[in-house]
Amino acid sequence: MVSTLRLWERLSALPLGNRLFSAAISLRAPYFGTVLPTVTELRPGHAEVRAPKWWGVHNHIGTFHAIAACNLAEVAMGMLAEATVPGTHRWLPRGMTVEYLAKAKTSLRAVAEPAEPPVFGAAQDIPVLVRVYDTAGTEVVRATITIYVTEKK
């Protein structure tokens, strides 16, 4: 089992453990911290991350900034990759396509899942679908983030 997933399983069982885990990932990848992410679910093939709407993610009209929403999508994809890609392999983001579907006026929840079940072997691109929802359940952003997965040397 991948070390990130083991850490999640250990910490999420504790009171406020998901917040401690989320703080740890923000220390490891500091830019993630700009959206104040909280991982709420993590298992192979699935990750959910929430981010509050606070002044640090506002744009000029007071909604959740589009790039901050992309950052949240990338956090969710990274958690999915860490929980799904076996320890014998490594991954790198290769590209991202994004659709902005509605104004994001509230806190957000990003749900990441592989576009199709991955089979790990030779080097390959794996598309990860990330859907970002507002608190009413409206999908406000949809991203496909392609990760390049190779065996470790």
pLDDT at 1: 47
Domain count, the chain: 1
Closest by alpha carbon to 130, among 43, 69, 63, 44? 69
Residue type, 14: L
Domain at 138, CATH number: 3.10.129.10
**What is the pLDDT, as a whole number, of residue 117?**
84
Give the CA-trace dihedral at 113, 132, 142, 149, to 10 degrees: -30
Coil/strand/helix, residue 53: coil
Name the residue range of residue 23's domain: 3-151
pTM, entire model: 0.94
Tens of pLDDT, residues 97-133: 999 999 999 999 999 999 888 889 889 999 999 999 9
How do residues 42-101 score in pLDDT, each as one tens digit? Answer: 999 999 999 999 999 999 999 999 999 999 999 999 999 999 999 999 999 999 999 999
